[in-house]
Amino acid sequence: MKLWDKGYSIDKKIDIFTVGNDRALDEVLARYDVIGNKAQAVMLHKIGVLSDAELDDITRELDAIMILIDAGGFKIEDEFEDVHSKIEFMLTEKLGDTGKKIHTARSRNDQVLVDMHLYVRDEIRHIKDGVKHLFDLLMSLSEKYKNVLLPGYTHLQVAMPSSFGLWFGAYAESLVDDVYMLNAAYRIADQNPLGSAAGYGSSFPIDRDVTTREMAFSQMKVNSVAAQMSRGKLEKTTAMAISCVGGTLSKMSMDICLYMSQNFGFVSFPDELTTGSSIMPHKKNPDVFELIRSKCNKLQSLPMELTLIQNNLPSGYQRDLQLLKESFVPAVSTIKSCLDMAGFMLENIRVKENLLDDPRYLYVFSVEEVNKLVLSGTPFRDAYKKVGADIQNGTFSPEKKVEHTHIGSVGNLRNDLIIAKMEEALKQ
Protein backbone atom coordinates (compact mmCIF):
# COMPACT_ATOMS: atom_id res chain seq x y z
CA MET A 1 0.00 0.00 0.00
CA LYS A 2 1.22 3.47 -0.94
CA LEU A 3 -0.40 6.70 0.19
CA TRP A 4 -0.10 7.98 -3.36
CA ASP A 5 -1.61 4.83 -4.91
CA LYS A 6 -3.72 5.74 -7.97
CA GLY A 7 -4.77 2.22 -8.91
CA TYR A 8 -1.71 1.02 -10.81
CA SER A 9 1.53 -0.69 -9.77
CA ILE A 10 5.02 0.59 -10.38
CA ASP A 11 7.90 -1.57 -11.52
CA LYS A 12 9.37 -3.67 -8.69
CA LYS A 13 12.87 -2.44 -9.47
CA ILE A 14 11.73 1.16 -9.07
CA ASP A 15 10.03 0.29 -5.79
CA ILE A 16 13.17 -1.30 -4.33
CA PHE A 17 15.37 1.62 -5.37
CA THR A 18 13.07 4.40 -4.18
CA VAL A 19 12.03 2.86 -0.87
CA GLY A 20 15.52 1.65 0.09
CA ASN A 21 15.69 0.71 3.77
CA ASP A 22 13.04 3.21 4.79
CA ARG A 23 10.85 0.47 6.25
CA ALA A 24 13.42 -0.50 8.87
CA LEU A 25 14.18 3.12 9.70
CA ASP A 26 10.48 3.96 9.90
CA GLU A 27 9.94 1.35 12.59
CA VAL A 28 12.03 3.62 14.82
CA LEU A 29 9.60 6.44 14.03
CA ALA A 30 6.40 4.45 14.45
CA ARG A 31 5.47 5.71 17.92
CA TYR A 32 5.88 9.31 16.74
CA ASP A 33 3.64 8.67 13.77
CA VAL A 34 0.97 7.49 16.20
CA ILE A 35 1.37 10.66 18.26
CA GLY A 36 1.05 12.76 15.10
CA ASN A 37 -2.04 10.84 14.00
CA LYS A 38 -3.71 11.34 17.37
CA ALA A 39 -3.08 15.09 17.22
CA GLN A 40 -4.38 15.19 13.65
CA ALA A 41 -7.54 13.32 14.68
CA VAL A 42 -8.24 15.77 17.51
CA MET A 43 -7.82 18.67 15.12
CA LEU A 44 -10.02 17.09 12.42
CA HIS A 45 -12.70 16.56 15.05
CA LYS A 46 -12.50 20.23 16.05
CA ILE A 47 -13.06 21.44 12.47
CA GLY A 48 -15.92 18.97 11.92
CA VAL A 49 -14.27 16.38 9.69
CA LEU A 50 -14.55 13.68 12.36
CA SER A 51 -17.56 13.03 14.58
CA ASP A 52 -17.30 12.35 18.30
CA ALA A 53 -17.69 8.62 17.68
CA GLU A 54 -15.10 8.62 14.88
CA LEU A 55 -12.58 10.43 17.07
CA ASP A 56 -13.14 7.90 19.85
CA ASP A 57 -12.70 5.00 17.41
CA ILE A 58 -9.51 6.38 15.88
CA THR A 59 -8.04 7.21 19.29
CA ARG A 60 -8.81 3.71 20.56
CA GLU A 61 -7.15 2.04 17.57
CA LEU A 62 -4.12 4.33 17.70
CA ASP A 63 -3.68 3.50 21.37
CA ALA A 64 -3.78 -0.19 20.45
CA ILE A 65 -1.12 0.37 17.78
CA MET A 66 1.06 2.18 20.32
CA ILE A 67 0.79 -0.80 22.68
CA LEU A 68 1.87 -3.05 19.81
CA ILE A 69 4.84 -0.77 19.08
CA ASP A 70 5.92 -0.70 22.72
CA ALA A 71 5.72 -4.49 22.85
CA GLY A 72 7.99 -4.79 19.80
CA GLY A 73 5.30 -6.34 17.63
CA PHE A 74 4.91 -3.58 15.04
CA LYS A 75 6.40 -4.45 11.64
CA ILE A 76 6.29 -2.75 8.26
CA GLU A 77 5.98 -5.50 5.66
CA ASP A 78 7.20 -5.17 2.08
CA GLU A 79 3.73 -4.40 0.74
CA PHE A 80 3.80 -1.12 2.64
CA GLU A 81 5.97 1.74 1.53
CA ASP A 82 6.48 3.31 4.94
CA VAL A 83 5.17 3.69 8.48
CA HIS A 84 2.49 6.15 7.39
CA SER A 85 0.89 3.75 4.92
CA LYS A 86 1.06 0.87 7.41
CA ILE A 87 -0.68 2.77 10.20
CA GLU A 88 -3.33 4.17 7.86
CA PHE A 89 -3.94 0.64 6.57
CA MET A 90 -4.36 -0.66 10.12
CA LEU A 91 -6.87 2.09 10.90
CA THR A 92 -8.80 1.47 7.70
CA GLU A 93 -8.77 -2.29 8.24
CA LYS A 94 -10.38 -1.81 11.66
CA LEU A 95 -12.58 1.23 11.02
CA GLY A 96 -13.33 1.27 7.30
CA ASP A 97 -14.16 4.71 5.94
CA THR A 98 -13.34 6.34 9.28
CA GLY A 99 -9.74 5.22 8.93
CA LYS A 100 -9.59 6.69 5.44
CA LYS A 101 -10.31 10.16 6.84
CA ILE A 102 -7.13 10.43 8.89
CA HIS A 103 -5.05 11.72 5.98
CA THR A 104 -7.36 14.67 5.39
CA ALA A 105 -5.45 17.98 5.07
CA ARG A 106 -2.08 16.22 5.25
CA SER A 107 0.73 15.14 2.98
CA ARG A 108 3.17 12.31 3.56
CA ASN A 109 5.88 14.97 3.62
CA ASP A 110 3.93 16.61 6.43
CA GLN A 111 3.94 13.33 8.36
CA VAL A 112 7.67 12.76 7.93
CA LEU A 113 8.36 16.26 9.23
CA VAL A 114 6.21 15.70 12.30
CA ASP A 115 7.73 12.28 13.02
CA MET A 116 11.27 13.62 12.74
CA HIS A 117 10.62 16.67 14.92
CA LEU A 118 9.06 14.48 17.61
CA TYR A 119 11.79 11.86 17.30
CA VAL A 120 14.64 14.37 17.45
CA ARG A 121 13.07 16.16 20.40
CA ASP A 122 12.85 12.89 22.34
CA GLU A 123 16.30 11.68 21.36
CA ILE A 124 17.98 14.94 22.35
CA ARG A 125 16.49 14.44 25.81
CA HIS A 126 17.96 10.92 25.91
CA ILE A 127 21.36 12.11 24.68
CA LYS A 128 21.37 14.83 27.34
CA ASP A 129 20.60 12.18 29.96
CA GLY A 130 23.64 10.23 28.76
CA VAL A 131 25.79 13.34 28.81
CA LYS A 132 24.65 14.16 32.34
CA HIS A 133 25.49 10.65 33.57
CA LEU A 134 28.99 10.89 32.12
CA PHE A 135 29.38 14.43 33.45
CA ASP A 136 28.50 13.35 36.98
CA LEU A 137 30.99 10.49 36.79
CA LEU A 138 33.78 12.76 35.52
CA MET A 139 33.07 15.28 38.27
CA SER A 140 33.24 12.59 40.95
CA LEU A 141 36.54 11.30 39.50
CA SER A 142 37.86 14.85 39.40
CA GLU A 143 37.15 15.30 43.09
CA LYS A 144 38.48 11.86 44.00
CA TYR A 145 41.80 12.38 42.23
CA LYS A 146 42.18 16.15 42.54
CA ASN A 147 45.46 15.83 44.46
CA VAL A 148 47.03 13.23 42.15
CA LEU A 149 49.43 15.00 39.80
CA LEU A 150 50.24 14.00 36.24
CA PRO A 151 52.30 15.70 33.56
CA GLY A 152 50.60 18.07 31.19
CA TYR A 153 51.74 18.07 27.55
CA THR A 154 52.04 20.50 24.68
CA HIS A 155 53.18 19.18 21.29
CA LEU A 156 53.19 15.78 23.10
CA GLN A 157 56.22 17.05 25.01
CA VAL A 158 56.28 17.20 28.81
CA ALA A 159 55.14 20.74 29.64
CA MET A 160 53.66 21.68 33.02
CA PRO A 161 52.11 20.03 36.06
CA SER A 162 48.51 18.92 35.69
CA SER A 163 46.38 16.62 37.79
CA PHE A 164 43.81 13.93 37.27
CA GLY A 165 41.34 16.29 38.89
CA LEU A 166 42.08 18.89 36.24
CA TRP A 167 41.99 16.32 33.45
CA PHE A 168 38.70 14.67 34.40
CA GLY A 169 37.16 18.07 35.08
CA ALA A 170 38.24 19.38 31.68
CA TYR A 171 36.17 16.78 29.87
CA ALA A 172 33.26 17.36 32.22
CA GLU A 173 33.20 21.08 31.41
CA SER A 174 33.58 20.34 27.71
CA LEU A 175 30.32 18.43 27.97
CA VAL A 176 28.62 21.63 29.16
CA ASP A 177 29.45 23.23 25.82
CA ASP A 178 28.02 20.15 24.10
CA VAL A 179 24.77 20.58 26.03
CA TYR A 180 24.56 24.17 24.78
CA MET A 181 24.67 22.78 21.25
CA LEU A 182 22.07 20.13 22.04
CA ASN A 183 19.84 22.83 23.49
CA ALA A 184 20.07 24.80 20.25
CA ALA A 185 19.09 21.72 18.26
CA TYR A 186 16.23 21.05 20.68
CA ARG A 187 14.79 24.52 20.12
CA ILE A 188 14.73 23.88 16.38
CA ALA A 189 13.07 20.48 16.90
CA ASP A 190 10.51 21.90 19.33
CA GLN A 191 8.43 23.55 16.59
CA ASN A 192 5.27 22.01 15.16
CA PRO A 193 5.48 21.65 11.36
CA LEU A 194 2.11 19.87 11.00
CA GLY A 195 -0.20 21.74 8.67
CA SER A 196 2.33 22.50 5.99
CA ALA A 197 0.86 19.62 3.96
CA ALA A 198 2.96 19.29 0.80
CA GLY A 199 4.71 22.51 1.77
CA TYR A 200 2.08 25.06 0.80
CA GLY A 201 -0.62 24.69 3.41
CA SER A 202 -4.19 23.46 2.91
CA SER A 203 -7.58 24.80 1.81
CA PHE A 204 -9.13 22.97 4.78
CA PRO A 205 -9.73 25.27 7.78
CA ILE A 206 -7.20 23.39 9.91
CA ASP A 207 -6.34 24.60 13.40
CA ARG A 208 -2.59 24.37 13.89
CA ASP A 209 -2.81 25.64 17.45
CA VAL A 210 -4.64 22.44 18.33
CA THR A 211 -1.96 20.12 16.95
CA THR A 212 0.79 22.25 18.50
CA ARG A 213 -0.86 21.86 21.89
CA GLU A 214 -1.67 18.16 21.46
CA MET A 215 1.95 17.27 20.66
CA ALA A 216 3.32 19.57 23.39
CA PHE A 217 5.41 21.69 21.02
CA SER A 218 6.45 25.00 22.53
CA GLN A 219 5.65 26.78 19.27
CA MET A 220 4.76 26.11 15.66
CA LYS A 221 6.76 26.52 12.50
CA VAL A 222 4.51 29.24 11.16
CA ASN A 223 5.23 29.57 7.45
CA SER A 224 4.25 26.39 5.61
CA VAL A 225 7.17 26.61 3.17
CA ALA A 226 9.58 27.24 6.06
CA ALA A 227 8.14 24.20 7.78
CA GLN A 228 8.92 22.07 4.73
CA MET A 229 12.40 23.56 4.52
CA SER A 230 13.08 22.51 8.12
CA ARG A 231 13.56 19.00 6.81
CA GLY A 232 17.31 18.74 6.48
CA LYS A 233 18.03 21.76 8.65
CA LEU A 234 16.62 19.86 11.64
CA GLU A 235 18.83 16.84 10.97
CA LYS A 236 21.93 18.88 10.15
CA THR A 237 21.67 21.05 13.24
CA THR A 238 21.17 18.03 15.46
CA ALA A 239 24.06 16.28 13.71
CA MET A 240 26.27 19.27 14.58
CA ALA A 241 25.31 18.89 18.24
CA ILE A 242 25.91 15.13 18.12
CA SER A 243 29.28 15.70 16.46
CA CYS A 244 30.28 18.05 19.29
CA VAL A 245 29.55 15.36 21.86
CA GLY A 246 31.45 12.96 19.63
CA GLY A 247 34.42 15.33 19.50
CA THR A 248 34.63 15.42 23.28
CA LEU A 249 34.43 11.63 23.55
CA SER A 250 36.95 11.11 20.75
CA LYS A 251 39.57 13.39 22.32
CA MET A 252 39.08 11.81 25.75
CA SER A 253 39.39 8.34 24.21
CA MET A 254 42.63 9.31 22.52
CA ASP A 255 44.03 10.52 25.85
CA ILE A 256 43.07 7.26 27.50
CA CYS A 257 44.62 5.17 24.71
CA LEU A 258 47.89 7.09 25.23
CA TYR A 259 47.70 6.94 29.01
CA MET A 260 47.11 3.17 28.93
CA SER A 261 50.23 2.48 26.89
CA GLN A 262 53.35 1.20 28.65
CA ASN A 263 55.19 4.37 27.60
CA PHE A 264 52.84 6.42 29.76
CA GLY A 265 51.25 4.00 32.24
CA PHE A 266 49.02 6.66 33.80
CA VAL A 267 45.79 4.63 33.90
CA SER A 268 44.68 1.02 33.62
CA PHE A 269 41.51 -1.04 33.59
CA PRO A 270 40.56 -4.50 34.87
CA ASP A 271 41.66 -7.30 32.57
CA GLU A 272 38.08 -8.22 31.71
CA LEU A 273 37.53 -4.77 30.18
CA THR A 274 40.47 -5.01 27.78
CA THR A 275 41.25 -7.29 24.87
CA GLY A 276 44.32 -9.35 23.98
CA SER A 277 46.44 -10.32 21.02
CA SER A 278 46.39 -13.61 19.13
CA ILE A 279 50.20 -13.88 19.30
CA MET A 280 51.38 -11.48 22.05
CA PRO A 281 50.46 -12.82 25.51
CA HIS A 282 51.22 -9.56 27.31
CA LYS A 283 48.75 -7.38 25.41
CA LYS A 284 45.90 -5.50 27.13
CA ASN A 285 44.39 -3.38 24.39
CA PRO A 286 42.10 -0.34 24.78
CA ASP A 287 39.71 -1.57 22.10
CA VAL A 288 36.63 0.05 23.64
CA PHE A 289 38.21 3.50 23.55
CA GLU A 290 39.65 2.93 20.09
CA LEU A 291 36.14 2.13 18.85
CA ILE A 292 34.61 5.09 20.68
CA ARG A 293 37.27 7.26 19.04
CA SER A 294 36.58 5.95 15.54
CA LYS A 295 32.79 5.91 15.90
CA CYS A 296 32.84 9.48 17.20
CA ASN A 297 35.20 10.61 14.45
CA LYS A 298 32.73 9.16 11.98
CA LEU A 299 29.95 11.09 13.70
CA GLN A 300 31.94 14.28 13.22
CA SER A 301 31.68 13.79 9.45
CA LEU A 302 27.88 13.55 9.61
CA PRO A 303 27.07 17.29 9.38
CA MET A 304 29.03 17.56 6.14
CA GLU A 305 27.40 14.43 4.73
CA LEU A 306 23.94 15.82 5.45
CA THR A 307 24.98 19.20 4.04
CA LEU A 308 26.08 17.65 0.76
CA ILE A 309 22.85 15.63 0.41
CA GLN A 310 20.74 18.78 0.51
CA ASN A 311 23.23 21.30 -0.84
CA ASN A 312 21.74 23.59 -3.51
CA LEU A 313 18.32 21.94 -3.39
CA PRO A 314 15.48 24.37 -4.14
CA SER A 315 12.67 25.03 -1.69
CA GLY A 316 9.91 22.43 -1.63
CA TYR A 317 10.23 18.69 -1.18
CA GLN A 318 12.78 16.67 -3.15
CA ARG A 319 13.26 12.90 -2.85
CA ASP A 320 16.94 13.49 -2.00
CA LEU A 321 15.80 14.30 1.54
CA GLN A 322 14.78 10.69 2.10
CA LEU A 323 18.47 9.78 2.35
CA LEU A 324 18.94 11.92 5.46
CA LYS A 325 17.41 9.22 7.64
CA GLU A 326 19.86 6.57 6.46
CA SER A 327 22.76 8.31 8.17
CA PHE A 328 20.99 10.31 10.85
CA VAL A 329 18.94 7.66 12.66
CA PRO A 330 21.89 5.24 13.16
CA ALA A 331 24.04 8.17 14.31
CA VAL A 332 21.64 8.87 17.17
CA SER A 333 21.98 5.27 18.32
CA THR A 334 25.77 5.44 17.98
CA ILE A 335 26.26 8.51 20.17
CA LYS A 336 24.05 7.05 22.88
CA SER A 337 25.99 3.78 22.91
CA CYS A 338 29.34 5.64 22.98
CA LEU A 339 28.21 7.71 25.96
CA ASP A 340 27.06 4.56 27.72
CA MET A 341 30.31 2.67 27.08
CA ALA A 342 32.50 5.62 28.06
CA GLY A 343 30.68 5.79 31.38
CA PHE A 344 30.90 2.04 31.91
CA MET A 345 34.65 2.05 31.35
CA LEU A 346 35.37 5.13 33.46
CA GLU A 347 33.51 3.60 36.39
CA ASN A 348 36.36 1.07 36.44
CA ILE A 349 39.37 3.29 35.68
CA ARG A 350 42.48 2.87 37.82
CA VAL A 351 44.74 5.89 38.31
CA LYS A 352 48.46 5.63 39.01
CA GLU A 353 49.73 7.88 41.76
CA ASN A 354 53.15 9.52 42.35
CA LEU A 355 53.78 9.83 38.62
CA LEU A 356 55.88 12.97 38.92
CA ASP A 357 58.45 11.19 41.10
CA ASP A 358 59.77 9.66 37.88
CA PRO A 359 62.93 11.55 36.72
CA ARG A 360 61.61 11.72 33.15
CA TYR A 361 59.12 14.34 34.38
CA LEU A 362 61.73 16.53 36.09
CA TYR A 363 61.36 19.39 33.62
CA VAL A 364 57.61 19.61 34.19
CA PHE A 365 58.53 21.88 37.12
CA SER A 366 60.58 24.35 35.06
CA VAL A 367 57.82 26.94 34.84
CA GLU A 368 57.19 26.60 38.56
CA GLU A 369 60.84 27.50 39.19
CA VAL A 370 60.69 30.46 36.80
CA ASN A 371 57.56 31.78 38.49
CA LYS A 372 59.11 31.34 41.94
CA LEU A 373 62.07 33.55 40.93
CA VAL A 374 59.74 36.15 39.46
CA LEU A 375 57.69 36.25 42.66
CA SER A 376 60.92 36.87 44.60
CA GLY A 377 61.71 39.91 42.44
CA THR A 378 63.65 38.58 39.44
CA PRO A 379 62.45 39.96 36.06
CA PHE A 380 60.63 37.25 34.11
CA ARG A 381 63.06 37.15 31.17
CA ASP A 382 66.05 36.84 33.51
CA ALA A 383 64.35 34.10 35.52
CA TYR A 384 63.54 32.26 32.28
CA LYS A 385 67.18 32.40 31.15
CA LYS A 386 68.49 31.26 34.53
CA VAL A 387 66.26 28.18 34.68
CA GLY A 388 67.06 27.45 31.03
CA ALA A 389 70.78 27.58 31.80
CA ASP A 390 70.33 25.27 34.79
CA ILE A 391 68.59 22.76 32.55
CA GLN A 392 71.34 23.02 29.91
CA ASN A 393 74.07 22.60 32.55
CA GLY A 394 72.39 19.65 34.25
CA THR A 395 72.04 21.55 37.53
CA PHE A 396 68.25 21.96 37.48
CA SER A 397 66.91 20.75 40.83
CA PRO A 398 63.30 21.86 41.37
CA GLU A 399 61.37 21.75 44.63
CA LYS A 400 58.67 19.62 42.96
CA LYS A 401 55.96 21.56 44.68
CA VAL A 402 52.89 22.91 42.91
CA GLU A 403 51.10 25.91 44.37
CA HIS A 404 48.37 27.13 42.00
CA THR A 405 45.57 29.17 43.54
CA HIS A 406 43.59 30.79 40.74
CA ILE A 407 40.15 29.49 39.74
CA GLY A 408 40.39 26.51 37.42
CA SER A 409 43.95 25.59 38.32
CA VAL A 410 45.46 22.43 39.77
CA GLY A 411 45.12 23.79 43.30
CA ASN A 412 41.66 25.34 42.91
CA LEU A 413 39.48 23.31 40.56
CA ARG A 414 36.20 24.98 41.55
CA ASN A 415 34.20 22.04 40.31
CA ASP A 416 31.19 23.61 42.02
CA LEU A 417 31.17 26.30 39.34
CA ILE A 418 31.29 23.69 36.58
CA ILE A 419 28.44 21.74 38.18
CA ALA A 420 26.38 24.95 38.40
CA LYS A 421 27.03 25.62 34.68
CA MET A 422 25.80 22.16 33.76
CA GLU A 423 22.71 22.43 35.94
CA GLU A 424 21.82 25.72 34.30
CA ALA A 425 22.44 24.30 30.82
CA LEU A 426 20.22 21.30 31.49
CA LYS A 427 17.35 23.56 32.54
CA GLN A 428 17.26 25.34 29.20
The Cα–Cα gap between 233 and 211 comes to 22
Task: Write out pLDDT tens, residues 206-239.
Answer: 999 999 999 999 999 999 999 999 999 999 999 9
Tell me, what amino acid is at 193? P
Task: Write out pLDDT tens, residues 394-416.
Answer: 999 999 989 999 999 999 999 99
Q: Of the candidates 333, 356, 379, which is a domain's last residue?
A: 356
In this structure, what DSSP letter does residue 275 have?
B
Residue 145's domain spans which residues? 108-153+163-202+227-356
Three-state secondary-structure class, residue 195: coil
What is the model's pLDDT at position 282? 74
Q: What is the CATH number of the domain that holds 34?
A: 1.10.275.10
The Cα–Cα gap between 223 and 394 comes to 73
pLDDT band at 188 (very low <50, low <70, confident <90, very high): very high
Say how many Å lie between the first and final Cα of the chain, rounded: 42
Q: Is residue 125 part of a domain?
A: yes
What is the model's pLDDT at position 270? 92
Are residues 341 and 194 located together in one domain of the fold?
A: yes
Q: What integer best gives the mean pLDDT of the chain?
A: 93
Are residues 351 and 396 located together in one domain of the fold?
A: no
Q: Looking at the 3D structure of the chain, how many domains does it have? A: 3
Spatial neighbors of 199 by CB under 8 A, at least 6 apart, are 107, 109, 224, 225, 227, 228, 315, 316, 317
Task: Write out pLDDT tens, residues 347-378.
Answer: 999 999 999 999 999 999 999 999 999 999 99
Contact by Cβ (8 Å): 83, 26: yes
Q: Of the candidates 327, 356, 385, which is a domain's last residue?
A: 356
Task: Write out pLDDT tens, residues 298-333.
Answer: 999 999 999 999 998 999 888 889 899 999 999 999
Are residues 62 and 16 located together in one domain of the fold?
A: yes
User: Per-residue DSSP letters for 83-103?
Assistant: HHHHHHHHHHHHHTHHHHGGG
Partners of residue 412 on adjacent β-strands: 409
pLDDT band at 275 (very low <50, low <70, confident <90, very high): confident
Residue 17 has pLDDT above 70, yes or no: no
Secondary structure E strands in 299-354: 350-351
pLDDT band at 97 (very low <50, low <70, confident <90, very high): very high
What is the model's pLDDT at position 81? 86
Contact by Cβ (8 Å): 115, 40: no
Enter the pTM of the model: 0.92
Tell me, what amino acid is at 243? S
Q: Other C-beta atoms within 10 Å of 51: how many?
A: 12
